[in-house]
């Protein structure tokens, strides 16, 4: 028995020594569970050099993961089992996450750089007083097109996409709200319509677009359009800006019937383990010079009005990506339509995708 106790004590001692060595090794690299921050963001939505800079400046290691839709992001966070300290949902999803008690209120005293955000992007209906969220990027949904491939075809309306000459030429965002929204807008209905007859009508109309749809894709859209493998894309404005930077022949238009104005904001989900570092990272991204560098890299529109002073003139005066308040007022922001309606949008979108096969 004595031998057994002795062996047990030796094993315990060795384990403790090993644990101390491992934790010392981790902290000598500057990392321990206390100084990591885990970020969950859209794909291609940050200049990775800034992640390194944040790590160097603060000694906090960044773990970075990406998602490609609001729905996928929310499902993962709601399921639990993750330790995201920051996520970047769009407006309607922020409202939904708040409703489902998935967000932690922000401590504004730790976000002094919030002063640089343009008032137009603060205190919006999906998050009054910015209790839970801080603006990251904003933009529109529209059509990027290649006039060279389209000869003289005019593209200014959603309905132009139904032209039979566009067979197999269109790429669509893999997003239920964007695609069903396009169907609704093309019929003159609101992007937040919940009338079942209107939604079915929009889905039927979308089914007739099928011959023109080459693919429903995510971040690959940019490469396919820039390489002229398709002539048209339903895209978020920042992707259009990026594609047009790669291929100057392309252009971007927000259709005459109207479209979506969206806001992606940083939030701290309930899954957060390092709330202090989350605030630090958010404040870092709000610094005007950092925000300017990130904007130039990502190509989306920044809500940081001070950052505009650090950016190239031609970028900030391009009305296609910094539309006037008069134009943005005519666009619609997605509303949180509630669980049942959002599920119905998803169901119709899935049926539309199946219809293509």
The footprint of ligand SPD (CB under 6 A) covers 42-45, 90, 219, 236, 262, 264
Which residue's CB is nearer to ligand SPD, number 236 or number 345? 236
Q: Residue 188 class from Cβ within 10 Å (0-12 exposed, 13-18 middle, 19+ buried)? A: exposed
**Least distance between ligand SPD and beta carbon 77 (Å):** 16
d(C-alpha 34, C-alpha 27), whole Å: 10
Q: Which helix (H) or strand (E) holds 335?
A: none
Are 74 and 50 a contacting pair, CB within 8 Å?
A: no
Which residue's CB is nearer to ligand SPD, number 193 or number 264? 264
**Least distance between ligand SPD and beta carbon 110 (Å):** 25
**Least distance between ligand SPD and beta carbon 90 (Å):** 4
Which residue's CB is nearer to ligand SPD, number 130 or number 299? 299
Which residue's CB is nearer to ligand SPD, number 40 or number 45? 45
**Least distance between ligand SPD and beta carbon 42 (Å):** 4
Residues 6+ apart with CB under 8 A from 148: 228, 249
Which residue's CB is nearer to ligand SPD, number 94 or number 103? 94
Which residue's CB is nearer to ligand SPD, number 34 or number 43? 43
Are 258 and 186 a contacting pair, CB within 8 Å?
A: no
Which residues share a beta bridge with 103? 269
Which is nearest to 274 in space by CA: 131, 132, 63? 63
d(C-alpha 272, C-alpha 270), whole Å: 5
> 176-186 and 339-355 are packed helices; what angle lies between their axes, rounded to 10 degrees?
80
Which residue's CB is nearer to ligand SPD, number 60 or number 334? 334
**Least distance between ligand SPD and beta carbon 39 (Å):** 14
Which residues share a beta bridge with 42? 67
**Least distance between ligand SPD and beta carbon 316 (Å):** 19
CA distances from 239 to 64, 109, 134, 236, 337 (A): 21, 34, 21, 6, 26
Which residue's CB is nearer to ligand SPD, number 277 or number 321? 321
d(C-alpha 166, C-alpha 156), whole Å: 14
Are 265 and 85 a contacting pair, CB within 8 Å?
A: no
**Least distance between ligand SPD and beta carbon 272 (Å):** 21
**Least distance between ligand SPD and beta carbon 201 (Å):** 23
């Amino acid at each position: 028995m004595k031998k057994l106790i002795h062996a047990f004590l030796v094993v315990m001692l060795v384990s403790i020594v090993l644990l101390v060595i491992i934790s010392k090794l981790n902290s000598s690299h500057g990392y321990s569970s206390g100084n990591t921050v885990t970020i969950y963001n859209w794909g291609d939505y940050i200049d990775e050099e800034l992640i390194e800079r944040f790590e160097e400046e603060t000694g906090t290691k960044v773990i970075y993961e990406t998602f490609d839709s609001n729905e996928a992001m929310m499902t993962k966070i709601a399921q639990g089992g993750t330790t995201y300290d920051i996520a970047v949902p769009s407006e309607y999803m922020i409202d939904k996450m708040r409703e489902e008690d998935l967000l932690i209120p922000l401590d504004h005293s730790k976000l002094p750089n919030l002063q640089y955000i343009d008032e137009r992007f603060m205190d919006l209906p999906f998050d009054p007083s910015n209790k839970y969220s801080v603006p990251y990027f904003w933009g529109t949904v529209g059509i990027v097109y290649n006039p060279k491939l389209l000869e003289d075809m005019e593209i200014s309306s959603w309905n132009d996409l139904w032209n039979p000459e566009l067979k197999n030429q269109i790429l669509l965002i893999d997003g239920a709200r964007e695609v069903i929204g396009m169907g609704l807008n093309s019929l003159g209905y609101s992007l937040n319509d919940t009338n079942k007859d209107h939604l079915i009508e929009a889905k039927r109309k979308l089914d007739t677009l099928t011959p023109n749809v080459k693919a429903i894709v995510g971040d690959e859209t940019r490469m396919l359009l820039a390489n002229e493998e398709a002539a048209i894309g339903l895209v978020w404005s920042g992707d259009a800006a990026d594609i047009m930077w790669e291929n100057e022949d392309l252009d971007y238009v927000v259709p005459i019937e109207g479209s979506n104005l969206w806001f992606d904001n940083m939030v701290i989900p309930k899954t957060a383990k390092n709330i202090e570092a989350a605030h630090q990272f958010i404040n870092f991204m709000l610094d005007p010079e950092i925000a300017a560098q990130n904007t130039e890299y990502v190509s989306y529109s920044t809500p940081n009005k001070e950052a505009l002073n650090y950016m190239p003139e031609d970028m900030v005066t391009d009305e296609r990506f910094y539309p006037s308040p008069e134009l943005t007022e005519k666009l619609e922001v997605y509303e949180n339509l509630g669980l049942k309606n959002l599920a119905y949008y998803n169901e119709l979108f899935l049926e539309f995708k199946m219809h293509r096969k």
